[in-house]
Structure 1
Amino acid sequence: MLLTSLYRDHTLDRPEAVRVGDDPLSAGDLVAAAAAVADRIAGAAAIAVDATASLHTVVAVVGALAAGVPVVPVPPDSGHAERAHILRDSGATAVLAAPGRTSTDHTGDDAIAAIPIDLAARSASGFPAPAQDDTALILYTSGTTGVPKGVLIPYRALAAGLDALADAWAWTPDDVLVHGLPLFHVHGLVLGVLGALRVGSRLVHTVRPKPQAYAAAGGSLYFGVPTVWSRVCADEPSARALSGARLLVSGSAPLPVPVFERLTALAGQPPVERYGMTETLITVSTRADGERRPGYVGLPVHGVQTRLVDDTGAPLAADGETVGGLQVRGTQLFAGYLGRPDATAESYAADDWFRTGDVATVGPDGWHRIVGRASTDLIKTGGYRVGAGEVENALLAHPAVAEAAVIGAPHDDLGEEIVAYVVTREPVTEKVLIDFVAGHLSVHKRPRRVHLLNSLPRNAMGKVQKKLL
């Protein structure tokens, strides 16, 4: 059973296993409410969940997993076209939603019923444990390279991935996990809800990841994305209030080095960084009992292997300098893209290593530094290979720069030129920023152009949407 800790006698008596905002739920009530959901949907081919930041989402997801029905989390703010595509493509037969959000969904000419989630309902039903290779979740990609694809996550992947993180982070039932991340991605749902339930630790979801809410929660373990940690650092009292926590974890995007250093100074400990994808869950992480280096995501977690390859697929040296395509393999990888055997096959090398699409360096000691997406963050300029993240961190070191994103733009002579998009705290000129980077890095890594913006386009997880730039 995936969520084994919920069924242990000592956790069933816990008066508060999960709290979302001001709404608590005991472990026993969660199990009984989830069983009531399972009673209603057992046998469904797949079930969608209107994944609001609420106890309704937690109960719905746990109930579907208990019934062995694949869960399709749907972003609550998704537009009509995106929502219709997810519902139609996944084959969901109904949508579980909070009573105030129930309505019939239409996918083309077809209608999908909405089932209200009753938090007061209770059932003592039991269900057989699903097979390890059965699909637990169908998570949809961001769709940056076309329509979103359904990623099939089997129960074995969830168990292996969460157990590996419990090992790396020394995560135990005595922990109190706090976060306010969306409940339709790997970070907020898989790690932030299912991880806590599998380990047996208490979960406090703050609905939104506001610094004051994090500070007031009194957790031992905190999850956040770089945008969250940047806002925490801007609120010094809240940042200092986290000094009693055991672990601060950052993920979903690279944590800028200035934010890493500021959080370390204010909270009294460096954050843990980790790396993963929807298709692979978390594959690389800093360990709770290990070193934490700014700009690095650590070592492969238990059960995962990694390697770097060049453009032809040939292995590259782990020398800490050579940038290559990152490939991974392990038991926690996905089972393929729903209805897309062609895309599944293309995502693997001939010897069954998964192509992440990210570029990285690996040191002789095994430490990984993620350069970024091969399509947007590896810039080939004038014969050099430059990682966008390195230039972004150099820009962020300037006191006038609040946010920075760097891309490669087509150039007749250089192949690509480095272009920066910057949000500033105070007036600064393009030339000053270009010269500043040239003084901190090799001259060929300087931006050729700098655009000053009021804000950078970001998605729900705080990642900069560089395709829009």
Structure 2
Amino acid sequence: MLLPLLTPDVVAGRSEVSDAVTVGDEVFSRSDLVGAATSTAERLGAVSRVAIEAVPSMQTVIAVVGALMAGVVVVPVAPDSGTAELRHILDDSGAQAWLGATPTDACGRPHIPVRLYARSWHRHPQPRAGAPAMVMYTSGTTGPPKGVVMTHGAIAAGIDALAQAWQWTPQDTLVHGLPLFHVHGLILGLLGPLRIGGRLVHTVKPTPENYAAHPGSIYFGVPTVWSRMAAAPEHARALRSARLLVSGSAPLPPTVFEALRELTGHEPVERYGMTETLITISTRADGERRPGWVGLPVEGVQTRLRDDAGEDLPHDGEAVGELLVRGPMVASGYLDRPEATAESWLPDGWFATGDAALIDADGMHRIVGRMSTDLIKSGGNRIGAGEIEGSLLGHGSVAEVAVVGVADDDLGQRIVAFVVRAADDPTDPDTLARTLIDHVARSLSAHKRPREIRFVDDLPRNAMGKVVKKKLLTDG
């Protein structure tokens, strides 16, 4: 039986420390947080769903905890949301009010402020494990963002599985500066330490200087954070006393993995998940950490691969197919979108991720991209673009890269790599192109080599910083 996600007993039932939660310059003990959150919960009244502009502040922390304790559904909103996206999220979610910091644009919703120093010890009924806790919106790469309904039980199961995989205990101090409107920063980075115990330090901004200034045992970052850390050796070395460096949300370049190992003495823990599934796969605190691979299914999770016909593929480290996952942390569906839900949530409990992956005989998983843009069918072979990108990023002349499949009369698709060269690389473009093609052929296999290298000044990205490969295919 799952414990409730957050109740006064769960949050406060750990050893009391005066600095349980730190956000920038604000520091709260665990009892301070419970008292302020309970006071906030009392003032929500008949509200059943609230939007929270997730600025990195103690107000946001209290707003999230208070709403969850009261059984009110939280709708996290990015502070930089544009007008059209903001209105879509508020209207689509049915949010009745804003809770927390004063929003930039209230869009006609009333604002319920959070009083940092108000305290109450009133007890609220515990939400059911199957009750909705959050509606989190996807990045909307294929249309308007869709609301993902996460239950209290799913979030609790996801956190507990990671506690087992990472040996995460109340003795740990988590340090990060990630946004509080994504799975990584909000569910893992805020609700994780509150449920498990220990300390949380949110640095507001995830800079190398801020991370180095706050001693911790676990540090969270995305690849951009870790690449900047690797470029700042004096700050990276300050993390040698840590226990785990965790990377997610995008593939970590092998060169950054190696640099962090050299500078910090730690091989980063990589993990895989989605808004719809939370974290389902991860390398272990006590297990193998292989650059470019995201590890094994966490406790309670099953995975498999399927081909275009829906048939299962072997776990041989070569066969690439769509990754399907099943586990207690998977969301219950898209809000008010039964057709979209039916496309991804299969009748037998499996969730179709849309991600192309391979699994080796030991169960290690490698994500090679999206099925729609990153699975390349060339000369009868099924090839993952992410595997080729990882190989190219291991070459010192490559700063950034995106690999796509371009229509080809002979091969079906030919592999084309769009490469941003490392600064001040002196190599002649034609020579470098041949070198990179040979590099992939040697490190992977001949049929996975790019047939063409196109050098570009930068790669097109969306608001989330992800490369828009469809734009490369149309404009490149």
What TM-score, normalized by structure 1, do the two folds share? 0.94
Q: 1:461 to 1:221 in 2, by over 3 A?
A: farther
Give the structure 1 partner of residue 82 of structure 2: 79
1:252–1:461: 8 Å Cα contact kept in structure 2?
A: no
Segments of structure 2 that go 5 or more residues without pairing to the other structure are none
1:46–1:69: 8 Å Cα contact kept in structure 2?
A: yes
Give the structure 2 partner of residue 116 of structure 1: 113
Pick aligned residue for 2:154 from 137, 153, 157 = 157
How far residue 116 of structure 1 moved from its aligned partner, in angstroms, is: 2.4
Give the structure 1 partner of residue 223 of structure 2: 226
Give the structure 2 partner of residue 36 of structure 1: 39
Q: Does 1:419 align with 2:416?
A: yes
Pick aligned residue for 1:57 from 40, 60, 63 = 60
Letter in 2 for 1:426: D
Larger mean CA deviation between 395-404 and 304-313 belongs to 395-404
Give the structure 2 partner of residue 437 of structure 1: 436
* Cα distance in 1, alignment partners of residues 355 and 299 from structure 2: 21
1:395–1:436: 8 Å Cα contact kept in structure 2?
A: no
Aligned length: 462
Give the structure 1 partner of residue 209 of structure 2: 212
Per-residue Cα deviation, 1:146-201 (whole angstroms, up to 9, x for no partner)? 11110000011011100000000000111010111111010000000000100012
Give the structure 2 partner of residue 266 of structure 1: 263
Tell me, what secondary structure is at the counterpart of 1:88? helix
How far residue 112 of structure 1 moved from its aligned partner, in angstroms, is: 1.4
How far residue 401 of structure 1 moved from its aligned partner, in angstroms, is: 1.6
Q: Does 1:104 align with 2:101?
A: no
Give the structure 2 partner of residue 108 of structure 1: none
1:252–1:463: 8 Å Cα contact kept in structure 2?
A: no
How far residue 467 of structure 1 moved from its aligned partner, in angstroms, is: 3.8
How far residue 429 of structure 1 moved from its aligned partner, in angstroms, is: 4.6
Per-residue Cα deviation, 1:30-69 (whole angstroms, up to 9, x for no partner)? 1111112211214323110001111111111101101101
How far residue 9 of structure 1 moved from its aligned partner, in angstroms, is: 4.6
How far residue 430 of structure 1 moved from its aligned partner, in angstroms, is: 4.2
1:43–1:69: 8 Å Cα contact kept in structure 2?
A: no
How far residue 298 of structure 1 moved from its aligned partner, in angstroms, is: 0.8
Letter in 1 for 2:436: V
Q: Does 1:24 align with 2:27?
A: yes
* Cα distance in 2, alignment partners of residues 140 and 170 from structure 1: 30
How far residue 103 of structure 1 moved from its aligned partner, in angstroms, is: 5.0
Q: Does 1:171 align with 2:184?
A: no
Pick aligned residue for 1:373 from 370, 374, 389 = 370
* Cα distance in 1, alignment partners of residues 428 and 278 from structure 2: 41
Give the structure 1 partner of residue 123 of structure 2: 126
* Cα distance in 2, alignment partners of residues 161 and 39 from structure 1: 28
Segments of structure 1 that go 5 or more residues without pairing to the other structure are 106-110
1:102–1:115: 8 Å Cα contact kept in structure 2?
A: no
How far residue 212 of structure 1 moved from its aligned partner, in angstroms, is: 1.1
Q: Does 1:201 align with 2:203?
A: no
1:152–1:336: 8 Å Cα contact kept in structure 2?
A: yes
1:239–1:263: 8 Å Cα contact kept in structure 2?
A: yes
Letter in 1 for 2:369: G
1:281–1:333: 8 Å Cα contact kept in structure 2?
A: yes
* Cα distance in 1, alignment partners of residues 470 and 46 from structure 2: 40
How far residue 72 of structure 1 moved from its aligned partner, in angstroms, is: 0.3
Letter in 1 for 2:433: I
Q: Does 1:145 align with 2:148?
A: no
Q: Does 1:186 align with 2:174?
A: no
1:174–1:201: 8 Å Cα contact kept in structure 2?
A: yes
Give the structure 1 partner of residue 317 of structure 2: 320
Per-residue Cα deviation, 1:299-342 (whole angstroms, up to 9, x for no partner)? 10001000111111111111111111110111111011000011
Larger mean CA deviation between 230-239 and 344-353 belongs to 344-353
